[in-house]
Amino acid sequence: MSILKEQLGKVLRLTLNRPEVRNAQSMRLLRELDESMVAAASDDTVSVIILAGAGKDFSAGHDLGSPQAQEDERLNPPKAGIDQEYDRILHWNVELCLRWRNLPKPTIAQVQGNCIMGGLMLASCCDLIVASEDAVFADRAVAWGGAHVQYFTLPWDVGARKAKEFLFTAGPIDAIEAHRLGLVNRLVPRDQLQDGTMELAQSIARQDLFALRLAKLSVNEALDRQGQSEAINMAFKNYMMALPYRKERGSFGGNAATARERLERYNKSRD
């Protein structure tokens, strides 16, 4: 299974369980995660959902070619055509994130190690983020000829000027800076991450479930009055506009894995 489930009282922890590929997100993982999220939303025994990652990293992003991803593609071959590609990417990367953002129960991302690209999307669509001191957040799309990740909330998460700096440099934000900017709610030592996240979740779970639902709805509605959901959909169109350019330069899909390796070597050479 790509998702592990553990319930303690009214708190359900869902764990991305692909540590051998740094919890890269295959279609199978996303499908299982969505099924688990939707089931938890209607489960009266669950008040709070924690989203965690097994092993060293929370998630290093989209799966760009593991055996599981290749098997997913064999069983569900993508249909040809720009319209089909648009709908496919929209579903797996925007519609699912928006559904999880709007779940009627509080969600907490429990983040350690790399939280990159698709990993950043998963954390961003959660209500709260608890991070270990070794966590690193990154959207490196500009380095590959893209605009940003598909589900894009960065201007709300860190502010417009920092969002621009973050994107323009394609560099990481460490946990301390992420906490200072408000991207992260709580910062804890690595060996206290699980307990610290559970402590926060249990304090929330003691509250009235209907009141929590309404409180979350009010905050999300306030964000939407500011245009967040509309902006997410508009930003996705900018993401899609960059795809032909990325394909031309060989930095999209499976080819992006090679591009990512080159970028990581370059970043290490600067350290």
Asked if 162 contacts 170 with a C-beta cutoff of 8 angstroms, the reply is no
Structure tokens at 205: 């779970």
Query: What would the 3-class secondary structure string for 218-260 be?
Result: HHHHHHHHCCHHHHHHHHHHHHHHCHHHHHHHCCCCCHHHHHH
* Residue 267 confidence (pLDDT): 42
Q: What is the pLDDT of residue 254?
A: 55
Please report the pLDDT score of residue 245 as a whole number.
85
pLDDT tens column, 201-235 = 999 999 999 999 999 999 999 999 999 999 999 99
User: How many angstroms from the chain centroid is the CA of residue 10?
Assistant: 23
Measured distance CA(230)–CA(9) in Å, rounded: 36
Residue ranges, the chain, pLDDT below 50:
257, 259-260, 262-263, 265-271
In 97-215, the DSSP E strands lie at 107-111, 114-116, 128-132, 136-138, 173-174, 186-188
**Buried/exposed code over 185-201 (b: 16+ C-beta within 10 A; e: otherwise):** eebbeeeebbebbbebb
Specify the pLDDT at position 169. 95
For residue 265, what pLDDT is reported?
A: 43
pLDDT of residue 268: 46
- Between CA 68 and CA 166 the distance in angstroms is 31
pTM confidence score = 0.90
State residue 201's pLDDT score: 98
